[in-house]
Amino acid sequence: MGKYTAFLDRLPKIQRVRGEDGSLTDYSETPDYKAKVDAEKDRVEDKTPAGLAAQYGEARAAVDAHKEIGKPLNLRVAALEQLIVDAYEESDVSSLKLADGSAVRTQPEVTVSFDKEVLDAREVFRQWALASGYERSMSLPTQTRDAIVKEMLVAGKEQPPGITISVYTKVVLTKGKL
């Protein structure tokens, strides 16, 4: 049982996509890239969890080995990540070992962002932070804000105002020792 298990079912599920530059973004915000990823997904032949994990390991190794020419490879990695999330969920699989000893697993990842529906959400959150004793940390970097909110959720507390919380399934490659 993971630390987020107690509240994951209450969070809206989103789909994150690795962009052509390798960064993660909300899938719904990139319609042109979504079409490219969907086309790449159609080109994947072996869509079994084991086949996807093996192809993902190969694609990630290729991206790592060729950072300067990685854009098309990032597209392949993004397509495989999305297919892995679906295939693993359908097959009730969370991790698979590859022939080289590496492992490809999925895990929930909680995301925190300012609520787009709340007018002046940053200020609403700032006021909450001041009232909650975070005045010494008022230049809260995004990672710190996210850590504070995640700790609150784990502790069973309500999320602060001006914040939207969702969850996506992240694909993780653990390199083998061969």
Whether the Cβ atoms of residue 64 and residue 102 lie closer than 8 Å to each other? no
Measured over the CA atoms of residue 62, residue 99, residue 108 and residue 94, the dihedral's sign is: positive
| DSSP per-residue letters across 28-74 | GG-HHHHHHHHHHHHH----SHHHHHHHHHHHHHHHHHTGGG-HHHH
Per-residue pLDDT of the chain (178 residues; tens, 9 = 90+): 688 888 878 877 777 666 666 666 665 556 777 788 888 899 999 999 999 999 998 888 887 777 766 567 778 888 899 999 999 999 999 999 999 999 999 998 888 888 888 889 988 988 998 999 888 877 778 898 899 999 999 999 988 988 888 888 888 888 887 6
What is the distance between the alpha carbons of residues 114 and 68, in angstroms, rounded to a whole number?
33
Supply the pTM of this predicted model: 0.48
Which pLDDT score, from 0 to 100, does residue 29 have? 59
Predicted pLDDT at 89? 92
* pLDDT at residue 48, as a whole number: 94
Asked whether the beta carbons of 157 and 96 are under 8 A apart, the reply is no
Per-residue pLDDT tens digits for 19-48 = 666 666 665 556 777 788 888 899 999 999
